[in-house]
Amino acid sequence: MRLLARAIGLGLLLLAALVPLCVALLLWAEAGPEGLVALGPTGWVALAIGLVLPGGLGLLALCWLTQRAELVVMRDALQRQGESGDSRALALQALLAEAREQTAILQEQTRLLLGQLGAGRGQAETLQALMSESRLERLVAEWDMTARELAAVMAAMWRLAFGWRRAEGEVSVAGAGEGTDIALPAGPELALAILRLLPATTAEMARFEVDERFVRQAAHYRAVFRRFLERVPETGPLNRGLFRDMVQGRLDARLALLPRPNHALVIPADTLAAE
């Protein structure tokens, strides 16, 4: 469109310039040079103005029309750019709003996830506490059964050491008479009595005379106690150190000084009554 307007303007400019030129050529052809000279300064000025003025006016009109058309085109372009910018601004606002909504949704999901993690951690701690409590209860129950078995073995060792009845002429510390039954010590006193009976060092134990039946009962005691300790953890409220510090544990350490059982030795059946 702009090229067409420029072409039309250029054509009009050439037409306005050719009209005075054609007039001058006609004057030249009819009157010759004398006609042109006869015009004088005023005629020459008028002829020059006729040659230049239409072209200048046409050029000015062409420039004005061209600028006006370019201004219209620029205004339309700016308007389109403005509309495009508004569309982009609206699209950007929509994207920002959507991003805010997604951020809010993610924050809510994160909060819910943290709440679920906290609840799961609490459930795990509760379950761990219940498992620990169950483990402790099971360990206490096992120790009760083990303590009964150890008490039975200690009773057999005590009977092997002191017998069932007092001999004639023997008087107990409590003042019981001759030939009465010897009562087992009650509770921890049984283990303490066996501890006081046994030597505390390896050298003294080597000189200590002990019955093979007592040695076998001691090995049985140590096997039961070790089997229980294998199920006890190293650390915790109930640990191996706690049971080793008990009187049963100290007795186990003392019985470790005894010689190993001689299973090749046959014990007469009539001597097993003490067990």
* Shared-domain flag, residues 143 and 226: yes
Residues 116 and 113: their CA atoms lie apart, in Å, by 5
Domain C-terminal end among 28, 56, 77? 77
How confident is the model at residue 176, as a pLDDT?
A: 46
CA distances from 217 to 142, 144, 221 (A): 21, 20, 6
Contact 164, 274 (CB under 8 A): yes
- For the chain, list residues with pLDDT below 70: 1-10, 12-21, 23-24, 27-28, 30-40, 43-44, 47-48, 50-52, 54-55, 165-180, 263-275
Domain total for the chain? Answer: 2
Nearest to 236 by CA among 111, 140, 116: 140
Q: Is residue 64 part of a domain?
A: yes
* Shared-domain flag, residues 155 and 49: no
Domain C-terminal end among 29, 61, 77? 77
* Shared-domain flag, residues 186 and 71: no
* Shared-domain flag, residues 139 and 235: yes
How confident is the model at residue 274, as a pLDDT?
A: 47
Structure tokens at 194: 């066996």
* Shared-domain flag, residues 72 and 195: no
Number of C-beta neighbours around residue 177 at 10 A:
9
* Shared-domain flag, residues 51 and 148: no
Domain C-terminal end among 77, 92, 123? 77
Structure tokens at 34: 């004398």
Residues 67 and 3: their CA atoms lie apart, in Å, by 13
Q: Is residue 101 part of a domain?
A: no
* Shared-domain flag, residues 72 and 144: no
How confident is the model at residue 184, as a pLDDT?
A: 80
Residues 70 and 62: their CA atoms lie apart, in Å, by 12
Alpha carbons within 13 angstroms on the beta-carbon side of residue 54 total 18
* Shared-domain flag, residues 144 and 222: yes
* Shared-domain flag, residues 156 and 263: yes
How confident is the model at residue 153, as a pLDDT?
A: 92
Q: Is residue 12 part of a domain?
A: yes
Structure tokens at 227: 């089997």
Q: Is residue 241 part of a domain?
A: yes
* Shared-domain flag, residues 152 and 270: yes
Domain range spanning residue 43? 2-77
For 220, residues 6+ apart whose C-beta sits below 8 A from its C-beta are 153
How confident is the model at residue 132, as a pLDDT?
A: 78
How confident is the model at residue 20, as a pLDDT?
A: 66
Residues 138 and 141: their CA atoms lie apart, in Å, by 5
Structure tokens at 7: 């072409």
Q: Is 165 helix (H, G, I), strand (E, B) or coil?
A: strand
